[in-house]
Amino acid sequence: MTPKFFDRSFLTRFAWLSIAAAILTIALKTGAYLLTGSVGLLSDALESIVNLVGAIMALIMLTIAARPADEDHTFGHSKAEYFSSGVEGALILIAAASIAYTAIERLIHPQALEQLGLGLIVSTIASLVNLATSLIIRRAGKRYDSVSLIANSHHLMTDVWTSVGVIGGVGLVAITGWQFLDPVLALLVAANIVWTGTGILRGSVSGLMDSALDQTDLDTIQKVLDQYSLDKVEFHAILTRQSGAMKFISLHVLVPGAWTVKRGHKFVSQIESELHNTLPNSTVFTHLEALNDPNSYDDVPLEN
């Protein structure tokens, strides 16, 4: 089956939504920091800057990934999305280092916080913006199997939980007067961001290394093949890989040697069509072999 192109250019609108949300939250969180002087709120604002850079990167990579196959990229450009998630993961780690440095500086040189009530209100509004944006993008990422959007939604949701922690910490400072809680919480925020960043990087590297489809997809493939596993038909050398939103499936189909080329071609075409319809965004390659030819089993070690 010839690789099919799926127009995914419409996904860039979700990246634009993320960019708009990042700009708005940067303004709100920076205002909250200027009002209060809280290093926790500053760390929150810094993470939103990373959100903006990540959203811009996602926009660029989604635009590239949406390009159809060409002579230099005959399987399309879908892997571009992994670069977006990889860069975003790296930026998250850089932001975590900056937050940790600022927090340690504040621990050494404590500073009283001011106008906590107003600052917390502004930060809460920013968090709600991120929450709504994350839920919208996550739903789109899962629906359209977009690595970039899923990574971006996870980052935004981490930002939401970070903000919840920071707001809680600043609130505790307001109640207890213990100024050290602010930088301590900022350090916890940095640790949480490191965890998220490393997770995103692992996913990006895994995708670039051509990982096989997940077990759910493999079970789906097997279920389809079982429907065609007649007494005189066998399958082997079943290989899969994920490339961005694209799924690639390769398998060998062994049929009786007495079958005509026309009958064999019709049979494998049915299998390809069924797999493609069952697993959207999939490209299926089949190799027809004779069941009674010993050479047909030379590639059995390729079996998953």
**Residues recorded for the chain:** 304
Written as six digits, the tokens of 76 are 């399309």
- Rounded to an integer, what is the distance from CA 132 to the centroid of its chain? 18
Give residue-wise pLDDT tens across range 49-79: 877 888 888 888 888 877 777 777 767 677 7
| pLDDT tens for the chain, residues 1 to 304 | 444 555 677 888 998 999 999 899 888 888 877 877 776 667 667 777 877 888 888 888 888 877 777 777 767 677 777 777 777 777 777 777 777 777 787 677 766 655 556 767 777 888 899 899 999 999 988 888 787 788 788 778 877 877 776 677 767 777 777 777 767 777 877 787 788 778 777 777 776 777 788 889 999 999 999 888 876 888 988 888 877 667 889 999 999 888 999 999 999 999 999 998 888 878 899 999 988 877 777 765 555 4
Contacts 24+ apart (CB under 8 A), 151-154: 151/54, 151/58, 151/84, 151/85, 151/88, 151/89, 151/200, 151/203, 151/204, 152/15, 152/18, 152/54, 152/55, 152/58, 152/84, 152/88, 154/196, 154/199, 154/200
Give residue-wise pLDDT tens across range 101-138: 777 876 777 666 555 567 677 778 888 998 999 999 99
Pairing between β-strand 246-255 and β-strand 282-290 as defined by DSSP bridges: parallel
DSSP per-residue string spanning 10-60: GGHHHHHHHHHHHHHHHHHHHHHHHHH--HHHHHHHHHHHHHHHHHHHHHH
Confidence (pLDDT) at 136: 94
Radius of gyration of the chain (CA): 25
> In the chain, what are the domains?
9-208 (1.20.1510.10), 215-302 (3.30.70.1350)
